[in-house]
Amino acid sequence: MVLKPTVARYALTDRGQRPLLTEALPLAERVHRALVELSDGSAVFTGCDKLHRPLQGHRHAHILCESNPGSDSEGRGEITEISIYVPMGFGSGEQNALQRLKEIYDDHGGILDLLYLGSGSLADYCRTGGSPLFTRSKCWVSHTPFLPTRHPKATRAGVPKLDSNGRQIGSPEHDILRLLELAGFPEVVAIEPVSSRLLGGRAVPWQEFVRRRATDERRPAANGAGYGFRIEFAEAVQGPVAVGYGGHFGMGGFEGKSNTQIYEKYKNIQ
C-alpha cells in the first residue's frame, strides 16, 4: 500500500515584497481559499464533508507560514516558506491542486508568487531538517501566538477558580495544556510564558500579529490577546505542534528546539 503524502511546501519568490510573519493568518486564509477553489472544494482543504459537516479529529489542512533562519529575508522577518500539513493525506486531486497553486492575490490586487517545492511525509521533512516546525523534539517554543479558546473562570466574588495544579481554569496556560492533551500529545513537564519572539532582529510582541480571521464571525477568547510559551514534553514529539484558535491557519504554532537553542535564542525574552 502506497502511503499518501501529508506535507507540501512552497517557497515565496522575490517578486514584490513578501509579508512579515506577523501577517501569517491572513496569508494562510488566502492560500486556503485558493486551494479550495483549485480542488473543487475537497474536504482535505475545506475541513467539511459533502453534507458540509465538519470533519472530526483535525485531520484536514493546516497552513503554516515560516520565517526561517539563514534566508536572505531573515533580517526583515519576512515569510520565506509555507507548508501545508494534512494528517489525512493528499489524494491525486489534492496534489494536482497543490501543483497548480503558483500565486496568491492580496486584497489590494498585489501578487505573491509561490514556488512549489514538492510533497512528502513527516518523516521526510524531519529527516532533512528543512523546517523547525517538523522536527522531533521534547522542547518547543512559540513560533506564532497562541490564541485561547476559553475564558478564565472565577467565582461571583472574583476569586479565580483553580484546578488541582493551582492553575486558573480557562487561563491561557490552562487552556493550552488542555488542548495539547486533547490533541494526543504526551504530558507537559515544564511550561513558562514568553512575551515575544525574535523576528527581524528584534523582539516582536504577540500583539503585533494579526490574530483574527477576516472571514470568521467568532472572536478568540481572552479578547483576542496572543500568548507565547516554552514547553517541554515528557518525551520527544513529532511536529507540527499547533493548537488553539486559528490553529489550522498558522496560529498557536511552535518550533522544536534543543535545550541549548532555547537558552541561547530566548534567554532575554520573558
pLDDT beneath 50, residues of the chain: 71-74, 259-270
pTM for the full model?
0.87
pLDDT in tens, 118-141: 998 887 777 655 688 999 999 999
Burial 99-138 (b: 16+ CB within 10 A, else e): eebeebeeeeeeebebeeeebbebeebbeeebbbbbbebb
> Per residue in 100-114, pLDDT tens?
999 988 766 678 899
Pairing mode of beta strands 136-142, 254-257: antiparallel
Length of the chain: 270
Tens digits of residue pLDDT in 224-236 = 789 999 999 999 9
CA angle 92, 47, 118 (to 5 degrees): 35
pLDDT at position 220 is: 63
Domain boundaries, the chain: 7-127, 136-266
